[in-house]
Amino acid sequence: MIKTSEIVKRILQHNEGKINSVYFVAAGGSLVDMYVSYYFLQAESTTLTTGWYTSNEFVHVQPKRLGANSIVFVCSHSGSTPESVEAAHVAQQAGAVTVGLTFNAKAELLKYLTKKNCLRVG
């Protein structure tokens, strides 16, 4: 598992640090884990667009700004929730930086993370 500071460095190297949107994506109880981060950016940022999506919603109705200037955090406690894994795949295909949060070091979610940006929780 890599340190948070290393993940931040990797994110800032992507697309020369040009970030205009940050999305928080998960299903069920994992989505609640993301709310504080979403709320903080929503309340404090004057330059970033942010969104808080269920995984299924994100897969089927992607934000118009999703792309190379985006960071997508996908949380799945098990790392194998099908719609969360698919959301990470959709974000990766759009060129976004994908960061995963999971308890499972062998999760399927890991396949779709940018340079294995994974924060293992628990």
* pTM, entire model: 0.88
- Cα 99 from Cα 80, distance rounded (Å): 15
Q: What confidence tens digit (pLDDT) does each residue in 90-122 have?
A: 999 999 999 988 888 888 999 998 866 555 555
Rounded to whole angstroms, the Cα distance separating 84 from 107 reads 11
pLDDT attached to residue 117: 57
Q: Rounded distance, CA 61 to CA 87, Å?
A: 11
pLDDT in tens, the chain (122 residues): 567 777 777 777 777 778 999 999 999 999 998 999 999 999 999 999 999 999 999 999 999 999 999 999 999 999 999 999 999 999 999 999 999 888 888 889 999 988 665 555 55
Domains of the chain by range and CATH? 4-63+84-103+112-120 (3.40.50.10490)
Alpha helix (H) residue ranges in the chain: 4-13, 29-44, 55-60, 82-93
